[in-house]
């Protein structure tokens, strides 16, 4: 077995340059050349994981099969590479410190003074090498969150410096992602911010091997030469990353610029086999040349920040392309929906998705949106909280259980049709204690979901504390909403459907986390198909 090689991705000048997309695109090219690759993200914040963060702070919290609550970049890694990530793929400063402090309390440091160097940096180095040490990967790409120069990133950059020295230049390299801004008044691309950010990196003892330069305009050879000269890299190692219409164009752009070739050359790995992007390009072709259009309403309370629903909007892109349908998402704020204006705001839609969420804000709007979809035969998909809202709406408006609710929103509701899970009742710690990760679900014969998944046993990812209250199951089923998917061990209701409606499905799990470019999620594919049928009526 070959020794694992490491690629570190740092960022300079500003945040939000898309390190995750560059890392994922490079990984895709290497994967399609036959290398086994994974990507890891190191986040310099003190939270142990993003699970306790408000989505407004950091966008969506992504969940892996093994139940890690992670940064949304892990979603990009999975969507590009089509292989699952795990707990080891996302590490925060909080987690690093937590484990160093636990070791100190156990006496593992034998009386030594515990310090950032070497104890924190050693822990970072161990976390970086955990994936490589599994023996499953030829190449591990590690993205360092934040921007070079941030106080928080310093221990990470120092750990990278040490690893570069320990592993040797043919085994570990640094890609520095930077911004080359265009000054309209001068009509010029400016290299100075990049020079400064590379200088900053060098002050920490790390010299980049490759520069990837984000830009709005083409970078000429003379600018590349200037960047190379002042940043101490070869001209061929200055890679342009021009703004793309879609993130899914980036692998092709990086291929054209030869990013994968220079990486392989530096790591002394063969580059004779070219990447096979046939399936990827087939997806892109269909995505860019849709035959139809559907209008989907995404009802949520964080819609001002689209990143809060990243996996859902990407899942629509994958499923849309598969069906050759352009999915227009209408972002609808649930707090701005009420009985009177629901028809006006929702009547042009061909499908309604009620999004996941926590807490009471905006839930009455979500319930009204479910009602409109149910009563007007508009295809409906409810995810997690969205499924719970569908059950509440049905209990209130079909069964007449006035004020039915989830105990999350109203502890004293007379009809707690959604209630806290038994094993959650006595919890006092909120971080990492939800029902998380992949669980099996058995689908009923003759159900829509079984037809869609073409299987009776599925596994999907979860992130919740509340569940369908079985006390109401019979009453709800007798009235026409059927539980068609259950956990085989606990009998927890995972899927509800209304068979008399053209397409009405609520799922307690998050199908969006498992949708990838090459493997669009069957529920999204079928939902979009149903929306198309609705649009043609």
Among the listed ranges 284-292, 354-362, 452-460, 497-505, the one in contact with ligand GLN (CB under 6 A) is 354-362
How far apart are CB 463 and ligand GLN at their closest, in Å?
5
Strand partners for 418? 406, 468
- 61 lies in the site for ligand GLN, by CB under 6 A: no
- 408 lies in the site for ligand GLN, by CB under 6 A: yes
- 385 lies in the site for ligand GLN, by CB under 6 A: yes
- 214 lies in the site for ligand GLN, by CB under 6 A: no
150's tokens: 């941030």
Choosing from 497, 512, 521, 534, the catalytic residue is 512
CA 50/CA 71 separation, integer angstroms? 6
- 384 lies in the site for ligand GLN, by CB under 6 A: yes
CA 525/CA 527 separation, integer angstroms? 6
Contacts of 335 (CB under 8 A, 6+ apart): 301, 361, 362, 365
CA 278/CA 9 separation, integer angstroms? 27
- 380 lies in the site for ligand GLN, by CB under 6 A: no
220's tokens: 């000429």
- 534 lies in the site for ligand GLN, by CB under 6 A: no
Name the DSSP class of 271: -
To the query of whether residue 501 is one of the catalytic residues in this protein, the response is: no
To the query of whether residue 61 is one of the catalytic residues in this protein, the response is: no
Q: Which is nearer to ligand GLN, 54 or 134 (CB)?
A: 54
Count of chain residues binding ligand GLN (CB under 6 A): 10
Q: Which is nearer to ligand GLN, 320 or 356 (CB)?
A: 356
How far apart are CB 466 and ligand GLN at their closest, in Å?
3
- 333 lies in the site for ligand GLN, by CB under 6 A: no
SS3 257: helix
CA 324/CA 317 separation, integer angstroms? 10
To the query of whether residue 512 is one of the catalytic residues in this protein, the response is: yes
Strand partners for 381? 353, 505
- 353 lies in the site for ligand GLN, by CB under 6 A: no
SS3 252: helix
Closest CA to 430 of 438, 439, 420, 440: 420
Answer for the pair 311, 343: CB distance below 8 angstroms, yes or no: no
- 464 lies in the site for ligand GLN, by CB under 6 A: yes
Contacts of 57 (CB under 8 A, 6+ apart): none
How far apart are CB 390 and ligand GLN at their closest, in Å?
12
Among the listed ranges 191-199, 254-262, 397-405, 464-472, the one in contact with ligand GLN (CB under 6 A) is 464-472
Choosing from 462, 510, 521, 534, the catalytic residue is 510
- 465 lies in the site for ligand GLN, by CB under 6 A: yes
Choosing from 119, 384, 460, 521, the catalytic residue is 384
- 490 lies in the site for ligand GLN, by CB under 6 A: no
Select from 356, 382, 437, 522 the one that contacts ligand GLN (CB under 6 A): 356
Q: Are strands 457-464 and 435-443 parallel, antiparallel or unpaired?
A: antiparallel
CA 175/CA 197 separation, integer angstroms? 13
How far apart are CB 438 and ligand GLN at their closest, in Å?
15
Answer for the pair 471, 458: CB distance below 8 angstroms, yes or no: no
How far apart are CB 465 and ligand GLN at their closest, in Å?
4
What does the binding site for ligand GLN look like in residue numbers (CB under 6 A)? Answer: 356-358, 384-385, 408, 463-466
Annotated catalytic residues are 384, 510, 512
């Amino acid at each position: 077995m070959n020794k694992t090689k490491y690629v570190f991705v740092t960022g300079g000048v500003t945040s939000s340059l898309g390190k995750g997309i560059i890392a994922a695109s490079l990984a895709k090219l290497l994967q399609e050349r036959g290398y086994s690759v994974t990507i890891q993200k190191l986040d310099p914040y003190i939270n142990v994981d993003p699970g306790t963060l408000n989505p407004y702070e950091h966008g969506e919290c992504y969940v892996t099969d093994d139940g890690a609550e992670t940064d949304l970049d892990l979603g990009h890694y999975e969507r590009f590479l089509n292989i699952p990530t795990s707990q080891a793929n996302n590490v925060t400063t909080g987690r690093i410190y937590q484990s160093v402090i636990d070791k100190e309390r156990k006496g593992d440091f034998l009386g030594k003074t515990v310090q950032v160097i070497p104890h924190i940096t050693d822990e970072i180095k161990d976390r970086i090498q955990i994936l490589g040490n599994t023996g499953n990967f030829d190449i591990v790409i590690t993205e360092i969150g934040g921007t070079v120069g941030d106080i928080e990133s310093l221990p990470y950059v120092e750990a990278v410096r040490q690893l570069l020295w320990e592993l040797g230049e043919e085994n570990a390299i640094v890609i520095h992602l930077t911004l080359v801004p265009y000054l309209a008044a001068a009509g010029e691309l400016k290299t100075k911010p990049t020079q400064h950010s590379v200088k900053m990196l060098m002050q920490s003892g790390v010299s980049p091997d490759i520069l990837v330069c984000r830009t709005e305009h083409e970078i000429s050879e003379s600018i590349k030469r200037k960047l190379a000269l002042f940043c101490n890299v070869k001209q061929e190692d200055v890679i342009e990353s021009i703004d793309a219409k879609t993130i899914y164009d980036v692998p092709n752009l990086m291929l054209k610029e030869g990013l994968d070739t220079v990486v392989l050359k530096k790591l002394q790995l063969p580059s004779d086999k070219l990447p096979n992007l046939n399936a990827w390009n087939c997806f892109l072709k269909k995505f860019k040349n849709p035959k139809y259009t559907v209008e989907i309403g995404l009802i949520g309370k964080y819609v001002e920040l689209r990143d809060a629903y990243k996996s859902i909007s990407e899942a629509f892109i994958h499923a849309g392309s598969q069906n050759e349908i352009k999915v227009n998402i209408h972002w609808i704020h649930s707090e701005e929906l009420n009985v009177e204006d629901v028809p006006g705001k929702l009547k042009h839609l061909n499908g309604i998705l009620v999004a996941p969420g926590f807490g009471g804000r905006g839930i009455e709007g979500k319930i009204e949106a479910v009602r409109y979809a149910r009563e007007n035969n508009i295809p409906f998909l409810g995810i997690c909280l969205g499924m719970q809202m569908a059950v509440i709406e049905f209990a209130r408006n079909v069964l007449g259980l006035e004020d039915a609710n989830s105990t999350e929103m109203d502890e004293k509701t007379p009809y707690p049709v959604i209630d806290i899970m038994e094993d959650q009742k006595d919890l006092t710690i909120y971080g990492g204690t939800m029902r998380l990760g992949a669980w099996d679900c058995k689908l009923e014969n003759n159900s829509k979901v079984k037809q869609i998944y073409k299987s009776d046993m599925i596994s999907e990812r979860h992130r919740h504390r509340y569940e369908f209250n079985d006390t109401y199951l019979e009453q709800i089923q007798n009235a026409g909403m059927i539980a068609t998917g259950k956990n085989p061990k606990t009998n927890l209701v995972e899927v509800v459907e209304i068979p008399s409606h053209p397409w009405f499905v609520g799922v307690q799990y998050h199908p969006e986390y498992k949708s990838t470019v090459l493997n669009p999620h069957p529920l999204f594919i079928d939902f979009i198909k149903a929306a198309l049928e609705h649009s043609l009526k």
